[in-house]
Structure 1
């Protein structure tokens, strides 16, 4: 019963955090509020949460990574694939080597393989934390897409480096050939498992629906289970379950382009996934806060392991490692940018150097989070000889403090660093949106004309359809006129007109909803009719808001 009460308390803390972050007089990212609430739960609870890293990885990471892979813009992912791969793989190796030697130099009592293990587990960035901070800082869309793509892939590379560093600490042997081959299999097997499981489940689901119909709620439940299936299959094959979940999400985004899912299912599924994402993200950071008392208790043991008596040495180590990670990230980003600009100049392309504040923001946005915490908890308790694993408590403490420092630094630094900067919209995105609207309007007009003729030939009331068709076509013709305008002033005018029309439509929809609620309260209409009409209005409003 105590475990159930703790879980319920954590879920309530997640709900409370959404309100607290709005009530606080100072701007604070949601993850920090949730960590604070988790620490509060731990202070009043008599039974702490015994965190099982394997269970944590299975329950939390697959659905969140699946959803990130599903929703991340694919055009941006493939457009900036070179930069993302450099950050996700090259930067991780650079961080493991640079931070590993830095940690061993700072703390000679920590063996070099353990220092590399600590550097490896703090190398992956956390998209959840970055996304929360980005909602309060004007991070450009393209940079945000790069950070999201990096965080989706660097989990696998960081965990692979962590695994081999632990193996070297346990056995005293490290093989670069074995590590390279294992890494290739982890990546290829993980991506293959995610792709195969998603396609197989999708094909089976469509076959069943075609022959036996579609049970209510079944598509959504199957969709929720896909990431877990991909993760477990990859782990069974000793490949990367994390990459399998990401690959499954990316594959699902392409499967959706077939348009075979009903609109109602898509709307319901989106709401379910939003709820799952909010709950799991929140519980992860509440759980981190709940672990803080245990981590602080381990700090006392860590003090002996570091070879010092003054506890301020631990604080110095934590800040030194955190700022060392930021410096290594800045060096990598700056060097990669200089190489890219040099190549473009050699090809004769136009080169525009990004602002120095944007480079610094890219370095500061490398926030650590749940994977770092879960990964470091998997450290062995003892060596094969039976001796305690060297500096285990110290490693856990430093990894945990790096998470907190990176969160605070990004939440405080990013909004101030990017304040006042203006980032223009991507012209390619606007062109794609205009093209989509134009094509959709043309298809809609053709469908209206075709349906009008079919209905009139079928014996419907002929005097109604011409007028109704003219009214519907007029709406889409206006959209065509808007998107085909050539003059820039006309384009701006039409867009302002669309915005004004959207405001009026939303005001009208809100008035409709208030009237329906009033009729239902006074029992002039039934609850069933009220729910049906309000849902229709909500769907129309959602379309106009987006």
Structure 2
């Protein structure tokens, strides 16, 4: 391990340079990293990388899920809950079932149980790839919200299918009532454990005398505790992390200090950056190990099987996207839906095309044991499943990943006006915050306002007569008053985000909340 440390260090540097290149040429960095890892793997005398699936499931998956859940808008997640649930559960099950029957029919030696095993592995799309692509193009907010929400849940459903398929392959039987009970416990237990542990962390950080460093460390520890605890109780670790992170994210202003929130954002952005980069370059580097163990089938035939499964995945997702629209248009006559308008053909087409596969698929494939049981025969078709999974990941990243930006630009996506335009929303928020600030000053600090030059400057600033605060020395009383004003502004923004009558984008609300955090931090540090 230690002799390969310089190589691992050089990988980190290569990841940074490749992501810089990807941003420069406007290509999704997962595509570039996988290709780079593939090319590096052919260099003579390069250390052979053997990816331990437990390394990905335990070390990589919890923090990446936690960071994604922390960043997502709960308001948007709830608004589009039906379509998100459809893609995360129904479409995943439909995809796995279709792959199972196709593999059973066309791939020699593939039983239906092995087909479901392969289907569970390749069914969940990778959100990191889609997110990296979408940042270069303008798409409706609803599309990014649906993709982000789907990505938080589809890993759980696919891994549940994977577990049941593993049992069926090993035992040769599938008991439906046991499967239903296990499935229910995975869902309910995973969500319940995540919420419980999230609540305990929230209360602990609120009660205990923690500082910004301690809070940041606890946020890094939290996803691992949630995931490992849920897995120990044989429930879904993915759902535990997602539910716990959503609880903590929604209540971040109630238990984290300003310093903790600001420092945590910086730490998590850097951590997610490194972990995502490592995962995708390791996918490419793992090819020699996968091909070395491929026996009993030619490379060309194995590639053909991989392309066939890829085609099935693309077609099923496209059909499901249009099917979801049709069902929604019918359901709107009977139940309330997020939007009663017809989305047209463009949104379903692009949702269907954003089906790149990634880290979870590879980790699941690698976690298949070499032996069916200890001391028993080899696990059937393990090497071929690994190779097909790699072909699926590589093909979807290259074909869909490289063509998606072009399709989005060509389609000229419609604007659904889900939120107020940014300029209009900015003006409205600033106007209302100015009214709030001036009223708060007048009602609560009228006497102090007459003798505090700083509060007078704040008063004038919010009346539009000043652009910046002067760096004056604040008395303890004035500082307390100003911090109270910032808290009132923060409370108003949070209330606006929860107000269903308002149509502010939560990302915009969070931007203003960060401005308040930065201003509060400045006051506390400077004065």
Q: Determine the C-alpha separation between the residues in 2 that align with 1:339 and 1:174.
A: 31
**Residue aligning to 2:482:** none
Aligned mate of 2:325, from 327, 337, 356: 337
Contact 1:138 1:415 in 2 (8 A): no
Alpha-carbon RMSD: 2.9
**Residue aligning to 1:149:** 149
Deviation at 1:348, TM superposition (A): 11
**Residue aligning to 1:395:** 385
**Residue aligning to 2:409:** 419
Q: Does 1:233 align with 2:234?
A: no
Counterparts of 1:107-506 in structure 2 under 5 Å? 107-209=107-209, 214-258=210-254, 260-299=255-294, 301=295, 304-305=296-297, 309=298, 311-345=299-333, 351-384=340-373, 386-420=376-410, 421-424=412-415, 426-429=417-420, 436-449=429-442, 453-455=446-448, 460=451, 464=453, 468-475=457-464
Q: Determine the C-alpha separation between the residues in 1 that align with 2:108 and 2:82.
A: 37
Q: How big is each residue's C-alpha offset from its partner over 1:146-169, in whole Å with a ceiling of 9 and x where there is no partner?
A: 111111111111111111111111
Contact 1:190 1:242 in 2 (8 A): yes
**Residue aligning to 1:487:** none
Q: Determine the C-alpha separation between the residues in 2 that align with 1:121 and 1:278.
A: 24
Distance 1:269 1:348, change over 3 A: closer
Contact 1:10 1:38 in 2 (8 A): no
Q: Determine the C-alpha separation between the residues in 2 that align with 1:147 and 1:100.
A: 25
Deviating runs (4+, > 6 A) in structure 1?
346-350, 431-435
Normalized against structure 1, the TM-score is what?
0.79
Give secondary structure in 1 for the equivalent of 2:463: helix
Contact 2:353 2:404 in 1 (8 A): yes
Q: How big is each residue's C-alpha offset from its partner over 1:282-333, in whole Å with a ceiling of 9 and x where there is no partner?
A: 111011111122223334x2xx24xxx5x33222222111111111112222
Contact 1:92 1:158 in 2 (8 A): yes
Distance 1:191 1:435, change over 3 A: farther
List gaps (5 residues or longer) in structure 1.
481-534, 541-546
Q: Determine the C-alpha separation between the residues in 1 that align with 2:386 and 2:428.
A: 52
Q: Determine the C-alpha separation between the residues in 2 that align with 1:238 and 1:289.
A: 31
Deviation at 1:73, TM superposition (A): 1.1
Question: Radius of gyration: which is bigger?
Answer: 1
Contact 1:168 1:174 in 2 (8 A): yes
Distance 1:351 1:153, change over 3 A: closer
Deviation at 1:216, TM superposition (A): 4.8
**Residue aligning to 1:522:** none
Q: Determine the C-alpha separation between the residues in 2 that align with 1:133 and 1:148.
A: 13
Distance 1:115 1:72, change over 3 A: same
Q: Determine the C-alpha separation between the residues in 1 that align with 2:407 and 2:449.
A: 63
